[in-house]
């Protein structure tokens, strides 16, 4: 076990302060927070010693909401005000939710924005706000356990989450007052937890059957670099569906009608879930419906019957596995290990079928409920800079293809799914009418060929195209996805140079203004003056810039002429001085000055390090 | 699909000889070495400027790797470097085109009959043709090669890859 380091009072042990960062698994059913302490990743318990926080929020009139186990216990009695599985609603519009089925026991109201709101005793709440409540509890727990403010968090999302769902997750974090270092795909987090622990090399498959989503990822781990080769899955298939299959069977047996009361449906779901869990260890389970919820009924179910009910659902996951293998260009035999993630992988039939498919015994040595949070904590620790430069690097992909609408409601893919990010791709289009001077660009995400089957992300218009005959103008559309998976689309008419661009913000996201209002309303910032907050943020940013330039000068001053060196030094010392002042505008101003004089320096350093990387390589080869 | 940066030579970036034959192990090793240095995750605490620079370089390295590791894309890129307009190229090979039509008819037939065995026969036939095409490319792109013939090969390989893609999509619907 690693020993704790203790420094002398007033002396810091490390060259820079150890920053507090955590990983959060914001799950459909349960959530967890984990941190790396003394080099070991571990999940953090609450005051009662419980690590798992049920992802359930209960709203009450004139009282603050209750989150977790207490809320879960009230779910049957107060089902309208108790929101569970909110992750399924994240980034979804009213239409999507109708698709998810009328079985959701909440009252939805349509607001001004596209985002659905749920009517509760405490007023209307959006899914993003419900998630923010869960995050706030985990944040409080982490700050309590670690004894300080968090520098940042890594939050995990299903690999199959689309742009809108990711943005909604980020918005929830913002409302909870958390700085998101990175949204990390859940399977990748699990792979990190296994890989970093055991230094595993080779190609791994991560099979993640969570409460509400299924993900499969194929990763290559080599020399400390984790390369995601492909991801796939189904964002509307999970353990809940296994429960529902069993619940429907029970309702049929017990003659409970589809239009039964919400609390009765909740009761049947709870019985079904408990039975599913028991069937992991036993062959037959007794089922008992309580008369208090409507119908009294007694029955039993054998594992064999249960297997028949869920066989088709599990088969659907294997189809996704096949597709992921093909996208990765990998044969099933090349997979060295299969890692199981998510509570639903405890179902024996899942374990058996996955084992058969890959021809391997799946790995379950790390608790499948905790493995995602542990991996996220490790990534957070790396990103916040608590580890040296030799640590693991993660090369991730976009999970869904990005494209645009062309004539006739068809989709042209610009960046195909499973492309490694960051990436930029361009494609050329032309006008279809004589004298056309504007072109509307509709950005979509998805694999299908028809626009109607894909998710609409954004629309914008390129104007001022010089009028020509149809097909005469040349418009180059460029899609750029950064390392966070954030998309920017730009369009340029090549003969005239007219251009336009948009940072894509999904249609079902919150408006900037809405977030600001929620921030103001939320407890965490109520007492804080906005100006003071801006100043503090500017100072932190300036400190970071100063530190990075100092490091650069120490390492690579030789890349600068004497005059250049003096310019940098001067800008640096000026910024140091103004950073002591209390005007955030002045600080910002001098930060830009310093960045300007170091622009060329930064570029030279980057090129030098690229040469260095390959030179070192060739020396090793000889 | 075109590369964004026209100024950087991908082979130079990876310090590999500018030719069709490529050592794939060396290529993927160097890809990882380069990303280790330039990836934005290495610059999380850095200034906005350094982050932007790292974003650009990491994008370039990804683009280059995407092109170099794929036989067809690498061949197209080599032709592009030699200023050969392979996009405008017309194929004059009626034998090949007849064969393509026949293969497409077979794909439609498989789609109608939902016959997986027949699909796998189609797959292996297509793969053989792809392999033969790549052998020709190697020959025609070598030093003493015939670049116009290489354009023919690129044209054919595009056809075959597209067919293969459609066969894969069909396979998805059959499961």
pLDDT tens figures, A34-86: 999 988 899 999 999 999 999 999 999 888 899 999 999 888 788 889 998 89
Sort A222 into a burial class: Cβ within 10 Å, 0-12 / 13-18 / 19+.
middle
Sort B89 into a burial class: Cβ within 10 Å, 0-12 / 13-18 / 19+.
middle
Q: What percent of chain B has pLDDT over 70?
A: 95
CA distance B95 to chain A (A): 30
- Please name the residue of chain B whose CA is at the shortest distance from the CA of residue A596: B49
Confidence of residue A300 (pLDDT cuts 50, 70, 90): very high
∠A179-A182-A184 over CA atoms, to 5°? 135
- Of B69, B101, B119, the position where a domain reaches its end is B69
pLDDT in tens, A85-129: 899 888 887 777 766 655 566 778 776 666 788 888 888 899 999
**B2 part of a folded domain:** no
pLDDT of residue B89: 78
Residue A73's nearest CA partner among A270, A241, A210 is A270
- Please name the residue of chain A whose CA is at the shortest distance from the CA of residue B164: A326
Contact by Cβ (8 Å): A48, A57: no
**B132 part of a folded domain:** yes
pLDDT of residue A302: 94
> Alpha helices of A12-162 — where are they, by DSSP H?
69-73, 94-100, 127-146
Q: Are residues B124 and B59 in the same domain?
A: no
pLDDT of residue A594: 92
Q: Are residues B107 and B155 in the same domain?
A: yes
Q: What is the largest CA-CA distance in chain B?
A: 60
Q: Does B1 touch chain A (CB under 8 A)?
A: yes
**Structural domain harbouring B43:** 10-69
Q: Does B174 touch chain A (CB under 8 A)?
A: no
Confidence of residue A526 (pLDDT cuts 50, 70, 90): very low
Task: Tell me if residue A87 is catalytic.
Answer: yes
pLDDT in tens, A429-460: 888 888 888 888 899 888 888 888 888 888 88
Look at A486 and A529; give whichever has higher pLDDT. A486
In angstroms, rounded to a whole number, what is the distance separating the alpha carbons of residues B122 and B15?
A: 39
Q: Does B24 touch chain A (CB under 8 A)?
A: no
Q: Phi/psi at A454 (nearest 5 deg)?
A: -105, 165
Confidence of residue A197 (pLDDT cuts 50, 70, 90): low
> Which residues lie below 8 Å from residue A570, measured CB to CB, with a gap of 6+?
none
**What is the β-pairing status of strands A63-67 and A56-60?**
antiparallel
In angstroms, rounded to a whole number, what is the distance separating the alpha carbons of residues A239 and A550?
A: 51
pLDDT of residue B2: 41
> Is residue A520 predicted with pLDDT exceeding 80?
no
Confidence of residue A7 (pLDDT cuts 50, 70, 90): very low
Q: Are residues B42 and B105 in the same domain?
A: no
Structure tokens at A296: 């009294």
In chain B, which residues have pLDDT < 50?
1-6
What average pLDDT score do residues A331-360 get?
Answer: 92
Residues from chain B that touch A423, judged by Cβ atoms under 8 A, are 59, 62-63
Q: Are residues B60 and B94 in the same domain?
A: no
Q: Are residues B63 and B101 in the same domain?
A: no
Structure tokens at A180: 């998101």
Confidence of residue A263 (pLDDT cuts 50, 70, 90): confident
Chain A interface mutation, best of B26, B37, B161, highest count of A Cβ atoms under 10 Å: B37
pLDDT of residue B144: 79
Q: How many CB atoms lie within 10 A of CB A478?
A: 18
Confidence of residue A2 (pLDDT cuts 50, 70, 90): very low
What average pLDDT score do residues A332-349 get?
Answer: 90
Look at A260 and B16; give whichever has higher pLDDT. B16
Look at A512 and A306; give whichever has higher pLDDT. A306
**What is the β-pairing status of strands A225-234 and A214-222?**
antiparallel
pLDDT in tens, A389-405: 556 788 988 888 999 99
> Is residue A325 predicted with pLDDT exceeding 50?
yes
Q: How far is CA A305 from CA A113, A245, A279, A311, in A?
A: 45, 11, 11, 10
**B42 part of a folded domain:** yes
Helices B147-174 and B94-113 cross at an angle (nearest 10°) of 10
Contact by Cβ (8 Å): A176, A136: yes
Task: Tell me if residue A186 is catalytic.
Answer: yes
**B21 part of a folded domain:** yes
Confidence of residue A388 (pLDDT cuts 50, 70, 90): low
Q: Are residues B61 and B102 in the same domain?
A: no
pLDDT of residue B3: 42
H helix or E strand, kind and range, residue A500:
strand A499-503
Q: Are residues B50 and B106 in the same domain?
A: no
In angstroms, rounded to a whole number, what is the distance separating the alpha carbons of residues A453 and A448?
A: 6
The CATH number assigned to the domain holding B30 equals 1.10.287.110
Q: Does B4 touch chain A (CB under 8 A)?
A: yes
pLDDT of residue A620: 44
Contact by Cβ (8 Å): A338, A218: no
Indicate yes or no: CB of A614 within 8 angstroms of CB of B33.
yes
Q: What is the largest CA-CA distance in chain A?
A: 88
**B4 part of a folded domain:** no
> Alpha helices of A116-256 — where are they, by DSSP H?
127-146, 163-175, 186-198, 239-254
Domain count, chain B: 2
The CATH number assigned to the domain holding B132 equals 1.20.1280.20
pLDDT in tens, A363-376: 888 898 899 999 99
Q: Are residues B96 and B55 in the same domain?
A: no
In angstroms, rounded to a whole number, what is the distance separating the alpha carbons of residues A268 and A287?
A: 10
> Is residue A306 predicted with pLDDT exceeding 80?
yes
pLDDT in tens, B48-57: 788 889 999 9
In angstroms, rounded to a whole number, what is the distance separating the alpha carbons of residues A373 and A379?
A: 10
pLDDT of residue B90: 80
Q: Are residues B55 and B100 in the same domain?
A: no
Q: Are residues B100 and B166 in the same domain?
A: yes
Indicate yes or no: CB of A426 within 8 angstroms of CB of B4.
yes
Q: What is the mean pLDDT of chain A?
A: 84
- Of B40, B69, B98, the position where a domain reaches its end is B69
Residues from chain B that touch A394, judged by Cβ atoms under 8 A, are 41
pLDDT of residue A478: 93
Residue A299's nearest CA partner among A343, A339, A251 is A251
pLDDT of residue A134: 97
In angstroms, rounded to a whole number, what is the distance separating the alpha carbons of residues A237 and A321?
A: 14
List the beta bridge partners of residue A502: A489
Indicate yes or no: CB of B15 within 8 angstroms of CB of A420.
no
Query: Has the ipTM of the complex gone over 0.90?
Result: no
Q: Are residues B63 and B96 in the same domain?
A: no
Structure tokens at A34: 């984990």
**B151 part of a folded domain:** yes
Look at B20 and A160; give whichever has higher pLDDT. B20
Task: Tell me the three-class secondary structure of B77-120, residue by residue.
Answer: HHHHHCCCCCCCCCCCCHHHHHHHHHHHHHHHHHHHHCCHHHHH
Indicate yes or no: CB of A483 within 8 angstroms of CB of B48.
no
> Which residues lie below 8 Å from residue A377, measured CB to CB, with a gap of 6+?
A21, A22, A23, A34, A35, A36, A41, A42, A154
List the beta bridge partners of residue B5: none
**B100 part of a folded domain:** yes
Residue B62's nearest CA partner among A499, A82, A122, A422 is A422
Indicate yes or no: CB of A613 within 8 angstroms of CB of B66.
no
**B75 part of a folded domain:** no
Structure tokens at A427: 């494609």
In angstroms, rounded to a whole number, what is the distance separating the alpha carbons of residues A156 and A27?
A: 8
- Please name the residue of chain B whose CA is at the shortest distance from the CA of residue A317: B175
The mean-pLDDT minimum among A338-342, A390-394, A544-548, B76-80 falls in A390-394
pLDDT of residue B160: 94
The mean-pLDDT minimum among A52-56, A394-398, A480-484, A527-531 falls in A527-531
> Is residue A615 predicted with pLDDT exceeding 80?
no
CA B31 from chain centre, in angstroms, equals 17
In angstroms, rounded to a whole number, what is the distance separating the alpha carbons of residues A472 and B158?
A: 26
What average pLDDT score do residues A574-600 get?
Answer: 91
∠A422-A424-A426 over CA atoms, to 5°? 165
Q: Phi/psi at A492 (nearest 5 deg)?
A: -140, 130
What average pLDDT score do residues A604-614 get?
Answer: 86
- Please name the residue of chain A whose CA is at the shortest distance from the CA of residue B53: A603
Q: Are residues B65 and B132 in the same domain?
A: no
Q: How many CB atoms lie within 10 A of CB A274?
A: 13
Residue A569's nearest CA partner among A556, A585, A553, A583 is A553
- Selected catalytic residue, list A46, A78, A87, A337: A87
Contacts 24+ apart (CB under 8 A), A357-360: A357/A318, A357/A321, A357/A332, A358/A205, A358/A321, A358/A332, A359/A332, A359/A333, A360/A335
In angstroms, rounded to a whole number, what is the distance separating the alpha carbons of residues A407 and A430?
A: 11
The pTM (predicted TM-score) of the whole model is 0.79
Q: How many CB atoms lie within 10 A of CB A51?
A: 18
> Which residues lie below 8 Å from residue A605, measured CB to CB, with a gap of 6+?
A552, A555, A556, A559
């Amino acid at each position: 076990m690693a020993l704790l380091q203790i420094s002398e009072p007033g002396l810091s042990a490390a060259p820079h302060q150890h920053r507090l960062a955590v990983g959060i698994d914001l799950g459909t059913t349960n959530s967890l927070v984990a941190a790396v302490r003394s080099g070991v990743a571990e999940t953090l318990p609450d005051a009662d010693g419980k690590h798992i926080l049920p992802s359930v929020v209960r709203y009450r009139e004139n009282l603050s909401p209750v989150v977790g186990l207490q809320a879960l216990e009230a779910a049957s009695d107060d089902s309208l005000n108790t929101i569970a599985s909110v992750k399924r609603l994240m980034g979804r519009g009213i239409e999507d939710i109708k698709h998810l089925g009328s079985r959701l026991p909440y009252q939805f109201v349509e607001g001004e924005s596209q985002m659905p709101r749920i009517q509760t005793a405490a007023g209307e709440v959006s899914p993003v706000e419900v998630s923010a409540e869960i995050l706030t509890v985990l944040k409080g727990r982490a700050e309590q356990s670690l004894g300080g403010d968090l520098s940042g968090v890594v939050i995990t999302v299903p690999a199959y989450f689309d742009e809108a769902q990711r943005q909604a997750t980020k918005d929830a974090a913002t409302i909870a007052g958390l700085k998101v270092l990175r949204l990390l795909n859940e399977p990748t987090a699990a792979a990190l937890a296994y890989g970093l622990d055991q230094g595993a090399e080779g190609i791994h498959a991560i099979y993640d059957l969570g409460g509400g989503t299924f993900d499969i990822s194929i990763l290559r781990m080599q020399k400390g670099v984790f390369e995601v080769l492909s991801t796939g899955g189904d964002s509307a298939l999970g353990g809940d569906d296994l429960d529902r299959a069993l619940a429907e069977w029970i309702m049929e047996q017990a003659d409970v009608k589809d239009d039964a009361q919400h609390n009765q449906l909740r009761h049947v779901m709870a019985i079904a879930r408990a039975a599913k869990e028991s069937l992991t260890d036993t062959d037959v389970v007794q089922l008992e419906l309580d008369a208090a919820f409507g119908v009294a009924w007694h029955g039993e179910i054998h594992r064999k019957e249960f297997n028949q009910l869920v066989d088709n659902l599990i088969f659907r996951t294997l189809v996704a596995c096949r597709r992921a293998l093909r996208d990765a260009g990998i044969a099933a035999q090349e997979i060295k290990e299969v890692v199981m993630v998510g509570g639903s992988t405890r179902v024996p039939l899942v374990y058996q079928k996955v084992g058969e498919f890959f021809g391997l015994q799946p790995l379950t040595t790390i608790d499948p409920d905790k493995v995602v949070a542990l991996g996220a904590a490790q990534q957070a620790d790396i990103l916040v800079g608590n580890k040296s430069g030799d640590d693991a690097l993660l090369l991730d992909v976009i999970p869904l293809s990005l494209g645009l609408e062309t004539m006739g409601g068809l989709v042209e893919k610009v960046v195909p799914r499973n492309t490694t990010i960051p990436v930029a791709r361009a494609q050329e289009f032309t006008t279809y009418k004589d004298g056309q001077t504007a072109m509307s660009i509709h950005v979509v995400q998805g694999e299908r060929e028809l626009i109607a089957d894909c998710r609409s992300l954004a629309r914008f218009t390129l104007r001022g195209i010089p009028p020509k005959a149809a097909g005469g103008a040349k418009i180059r559309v460029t899609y750029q996805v950064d390392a966070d998976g954030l998309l920017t689309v730009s369009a340029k008419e090549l003969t005239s140079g007219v251009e336009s661009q948009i940072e894509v913000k999904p249609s079902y996201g919150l408006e900037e203004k809405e977030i600001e209002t929620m921030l103001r309303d939320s407890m965490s910032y109520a007492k804080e003056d906005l100006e003071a907050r801006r100043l503090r943020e500017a100072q932190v940013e300036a400190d970071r810039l100063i530190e990075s330039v100092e490091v650069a000068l120490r390492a690579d001053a030789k890349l600068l002429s004497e005059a250049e060196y003096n310019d940098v030094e001067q800008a640096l010392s000026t910024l140091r001085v103004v950073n002591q002042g209390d005007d955030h505008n002045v600080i910002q101003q001098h930060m830009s000055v310093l960045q300007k004089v170091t622009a060329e320096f930064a570029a030279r350093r980057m090129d030098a390090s690229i040469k260095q990387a390959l030179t070192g390589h060739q020396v090793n080869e000889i | 699909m075109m590369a964004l940066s026209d100024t950087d030579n991908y082979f130079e970036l990876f310090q590999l000889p500018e030719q069709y034959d490529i050592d794939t192990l060396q290529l993927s090793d160097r890809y990882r070495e380069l990303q280790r240095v330039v990836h934005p995750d290495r610059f999380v605490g850095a200034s906005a400027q350094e982050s932007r620079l790292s974003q650009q370089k990491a994008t370039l390295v990804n683009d280059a790797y995407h092109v170099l590791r794929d036989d067809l894309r690498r061949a197209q890129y080599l032709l592009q470097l030699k200023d050969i307009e392979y996009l405008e190229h017309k194929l004059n090979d009626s034998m090949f085109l007849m064969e393509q039509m026949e293969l497409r008819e077979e794909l439609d037939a498989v789609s109608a009959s939902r016959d997986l065995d027949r699909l796998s026969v189609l797959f292996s036939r297509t793969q053989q043709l792809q392999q033969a095409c790549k052998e020709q490319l190697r020959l025609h792109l070598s030093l003493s090669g015939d670049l116009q013939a290489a354009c023919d090969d690129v044209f054919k390989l595009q056809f075959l890859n597209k067919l293969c893609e459609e066969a894969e999509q069909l396979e998805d619907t059959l499961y």
